[in-house]
Structure 1
Amino acid sequence: MAQVKGEFEVKRTPEGSCDLGDGVAAGHFRFDKRFSGALDATGVVHMMAVGTEVEGSAAYVALERISGTLDGRTGAFFTQHNGTMDRGAPTLSLTVVPDSGTGELTGLRGRMAIDIVDGKHYYTLDYTLGEG
């Protein structure tokens, strides 16, 4: 398994909320990302998020398309985000969607971690690249 790390910039744009019934709505946001480092790419994310009545408990799901180069290989791929805050304790699963890689990224599989330190966003992508 290969690993790459780098930084990314992100811009958030509110979209129309999503009706979940009974007057409850999920927030809907678009994020435009610019990755630098071994992943030299742009990303477009659509995220839906909900909060609860308990302080610090919430969740979000998102789909992202990342397009550019990874370790010099050109293509695009999708990721799936699943984030939870349990009374302030965060967890995030961010997975490359199987068989979503295109071009020289066909066969890409992996997981990504995101860290935010002093307002800067960092990624760590663990991946394999092959036909199966």
Structure 2
Amino acid sequence: MDMTNADITKVSGTFEVKLEPHSAYATGVGGMNLGRMTLDKAFIGELEGRSQGEMLSAMTAKKGSAGYVAIEQFVGKLCGKQGSFVLQHFGIMTDGQNRLHLEVIPNSGAGELTGLYGNMAITIENGQHFYEFSFSMAKEEEPM
């Protein structure tokens, strides 16, 4: 769904995250450090609930250059609507400069969040994690 033509709602808040190393399947070579972690988050604000998922990362021998991908499933409330959805992460760091993209996997919304589309921005200030979630709900099609 193209969110440029949809009614977009933006909400923001904070979250706490717990990362736990998990045994990695692959081992890096040539100065690469490959990692695997579990995610456990608690969201506060208009997005209220928990998410769990997994992250794969690669850190290069050059400090400040790395990448990661992750999948997490949120369960809770969004603006009072109960349900769940899945977020996909794609992050790249080049010489300490971050580029991060988080997007709701299409058709992953369930419960009252069925039809959810959106993306999330994350910032970290003084150790506190903040989110801004921009989303829309797919319009139900008219019966023929």
More strand by share: 1
1:3 to 2, 6, 10: 10
Q: Which has the larger radius of gyration?
A: 2
Which SS does the other structure have where 2:55 is aligned? strand
Counterpart contact for 1:18–1:25, Cα < 8 Å: no
- 1:15 is displaced (CA, Å) by 0.4
Q: What CA RMSD, in Å, does the superposition of the two structures yield over aligned residues? A: 1.7
- 1:53 is displaced (CA, Å) by 2.1
Structure 1: segments with no counterpart, 5+ residues: none
Identity %: 41
- 1:51 is displaced (CA, Å) by 1.1
Structure 2: segments with no counterpart, 5+ residues: 1-7
- Against the structure 1 CA distance between its residues 21 and 54, is the aligned structure 2 distance closer, same or farther, given a 3 Å change threshold? closer
2:96 to 88, 98, 114: 88
Cα distance in structure 2, aligned partners of 1:20 and 1:110: 34
Cα distance in structure 2, aligned partners of 1:21 and 1:57: 15
Cα distance in structure 2, aligned partners of 1:69 and 1:128: 15
- 1:22 is displaced (CA, Å) by 6.0
Cα distance in structure 2, aligned partners of 1:35 and 1:65: 12
Which SS does the other structure have where 1:19 is aligned? coil
Match of 2:111 in 1: 103
1:72 paired to 2:117: no
The TM-score with structure 1 as length reference comes to 0.93
Match of 2:64 in 1: 56
- 1:103 is displaced (CA, Å) by 0.6
Task: Look up the equivalent residue of 2:101 and give its one-letter code.
Answer: S
Match of 2:120 in 1: 112
Cα distance in structure 2, aligned partners of 1:78 and 1:30: 15
- Against the structure 1 CA distance between its residues 21 and 121, is the aligned structure 2 distance closer, same or farther, given a 3 Å change threshold? closer
Task: Look up the equivalent residue of 1:101 and give its one-letter code.
Answer: G
Structure 1 segments of 4+ aligned residues over 4 angstroms from their partners:
20-25
